[in-house]
Amino acid sequence: MSKPDFEWDESKNLDNQQKHGVTFYEVQYAFLDENRVIAEDLTHSQTEKRFYCFGQSKEATGILTVRFTYRSGRIRIIGAGYWRKGKKSMSKPIQYSNELIGEVKVIPDFLPSPEELALKQQNTKVTISLSVESIAYFKSIAKKHHVPYQKMIRQLLDEYVAHQKKC
């Protein structure tokens, strides 16, 4: 299982959902758009570059604008929303104008290709009763590999589900 190429502050995700009606889990899909556009935010601080990604939503119901930075090979989402008039059907032709969206500069796409990106998955906490033997086994294997045993159980279940979906 690949390490996700995305990260964010969960409290900012919740604030963004309240303010703009879209979660950071959803806006990751803008980066998977083969026609995405990357622009540099020229008005942000000089200590860390900020960028915008403009790309289609998962359902292709609108263009998302995602503000992000790129740290240690990971895309850190800062904020996002739907472009212009919100989540609209793309059945009508888009009327573009020359109005400013701030000081931005379209730059060459430096991010990994859409095929190379691993999305951050949304998890749900559950309570489950397992046998003492099973837990002991996972704890011993996890200790050898220096990972939490809960993560090993989650990965095992995720891989099982992925395999079953292919059958």
- Quote the tokens at residue 91: 């059945």
- Alpha carbon of 38 to those of 24, 30, 51: distances in Å? 17, 11, 7
Q: What is the mean pLDDT of residues 78-100?
A: 57
In this prediction, residue 97 carries a pLDDT of 46
Q: What is the mean pLDDT of residues 150-164?
A: 84
Q: What pLDDT sits at residue 60?
A: 86
Q: What is the pLDDT of residue 29?
A: 94
Residue 35 DSSP one-character state: T
The reported pLDDT for the residue numbered 8 is: 95
Q: What pLDDT, on a 0 to 100 scale, did the predictor assign at position 3? A: 64
> Which CATH superfamily does the domain covering 6-116 fall into?
Ribonuclease toxin, BrnT, of type II toxin-antitoxin system (3.10.450.530)
Tens-place pLDDT, residues 120-137 = 887 788 888 999 999 999
Which is higher by pLDDT, 25 or 4?
A: 25
Whether the predicted pLDDT of 77 surpasses 90? yes
The domain ranges of the chain are 6-116, 132-166
Per-residue buried b or exposed e for 122-140, using 16+ beta carbons within 10 Å of the residue's own CB = eeeeeeeeeeeeeeeebee
At 102-121, the pLDDT tens digits run 678 888 898 988 888 888 88
